Amino acid sequence: MNRALLFTDLDGSLLDHDSYSHLAASETLALLKSSSVPVMPTTSKTLAEVLPIRSALSSNDPFIIENGAAIYIPAGYFKQQPADTTLYTKGGYEFWEYSQAPSRAHWQQLLSQVSKDFAGQYIDFQHLGTSGVAVVTGLTLEQAALANQRGFSEPIHWLGSNTEKQHFIAQLKTLGAHIVEGGRFLHLIDHQACKGAAMQWLTQCFKENDRSKNYMSIAAGDSHNDISMLEAADIAAVIQSPAHTAPILNRKEKIYLSKHFGPKGWNQVVAKILTQEALINKKDNKE
């Protein structure tokens, strides 16, 4: 039987868009755990943000942060440490870290080059500060501080028109930057960093660790910055959102669209995939 690997967006997908709760997905999360299916957050969030979420999910699986800019694998998770990773310690945890992306400071320097042309039309997380991030996200001050501990990217709260936004994106691209649009913010990252590429790199780690298994990747996401992994995965789970339209994909097969929003939709559509694609043992499925 194929072994499933689940890569999931957080905000608006596994986590509710407003409350950031995952409780509506508890039933399918329990099914995944009983079936030994890794659930790997693949998110625009920071390392500091993901650690408490992993704890709340009782997860010890790898995860991807800042829209694919870095990958963290718990040390010892695989038989051998993947090539090009380094040991990194955070919050008492040891990880194998993989990243080839420039630092946050690099992106802040690029923003300084366009700031005069777009004055008053955006504000980045650096200048929002903890209290400003809390206001625009609805996070607590403590959570907002974690969201601002970025290593490889810079989120941007856009205030101008859509036309000016396109000019802004185009000008940053000429400087070598890449912009992806999430459910709330623009994210300034390296052009080679995306959720899809990070998912494929991590999937390859699983394959190299155990060549006896046939791994099938599932990607679950709700917004534009999830498109790269939704396109690249073996199976795409598109989660509907109350805040924006569902991402439009080029692929025509193995696409599942949730009936509900956020974690309720995630719960429904992931369970459907596991059953219809025969990725769990029937004895594990209580439906």
Q: Can you tell me the mean pLDDT for 32-41?
A: 96
| Per-residue 3-state assignment (H helix, E strand, C coil) for the chain | CCEEEEEECCECCCECCCCCCCHHHHHHHHHHHHCCCCEEEECCCCHHHHHHHHHHCCCCCCEEEHHHCEEEEECCCCCCCCCCCEEEEECCEEEEEECCCCCHHHHHHHHHHHCCCCCCCEEEHHHHHHHHHHHHHCCCHHHHHHHCCCCCCEEEEECCCHHHHHHHHHHHHHCCEEEEECCCCEEEEECCCCHHHHHHHHHHHHHHHCCCCCEEEEEEECCHHHHHHHHHCCEEEEEECCCCCCCCCCCCCCEEEEEEEHHHHHHHHHHHHHHHCCCCCHHHCCC
Q: Greatest CA span in the chain, whole angstroms?
A: 61
pLDDT at 183: 75
pLDDT at 180: 86
**pLDDT grade, residue 182 (50/70/90)?**
confident
pLDDT digits (tens, 9 = 90+) for 237-246: 999 999 888 9
On the question of pLDDT at 40 being above 70, the answer is yes
DSSP 3-state assignment of 241? coil
- The helix or strand, by DSSP H or E, that contains position 179, with its residue range, turns out to be strand 177-181
pLDDT digits (tens, 9 = 90+) for 260-286: 999 999 999 999 999 999 998 755 444
Report the residue count for the chain: 287
**Candidate from 65-69, 107-111, 257-261, 277-281 with smallest mean pLDDT:** 277-281
DSSP 3-state assignment of 250? coil
Place of tokens 């596994």: 14
- The helix or strand, by DSSP H or E, that contains position 2, with its residue range, turns out to be none
What value, to the nearest 5°, has the Cα angle with vertex 189 and ends 107 and 138?
90
The bridge status of strand 122-124 relative to strand 154-158 is antiparallel
On the question of pLDDT at 123 being above 90, the answer is yes
Sorted by sequence, the CB contacts under 8 Å of residue 54 that are 6+ apart come out as: 41, 60, 61, 63
pLDDT at 2: 86
CATH numbers and ranges of domains, the chain: 3-100+194-284 (3.40.50.1000), 104-190 (3.30.980.20)
- Residue 75 sits at φ, ψ, to 5 deg, of -55, 130
Sorted by sequence, the CB contacts under 8 Å of residue 109 that are 6+ apart come out as: none
pLDDT digits (tens, 9 = 90+) for 5-14: 999 999 999 9
**pLDDT grade, residue 51 (50/70/90)?**
very high
**Average pLDDT, rounded, for the chain:** 93
Q: Specify whether the backbone of 187 is left (phi greater than 0), alpha (psi in -120 to 50) or beta.
A: beta
The rounded distance, in Å, linking the Cα atoms of 22 and 118 is 37
Total-model pTM: 0.91
In angstroms, the Cα distances linking 93 to 57, 58, 77, 86, 101 are 16, 14, 12, 14, 22
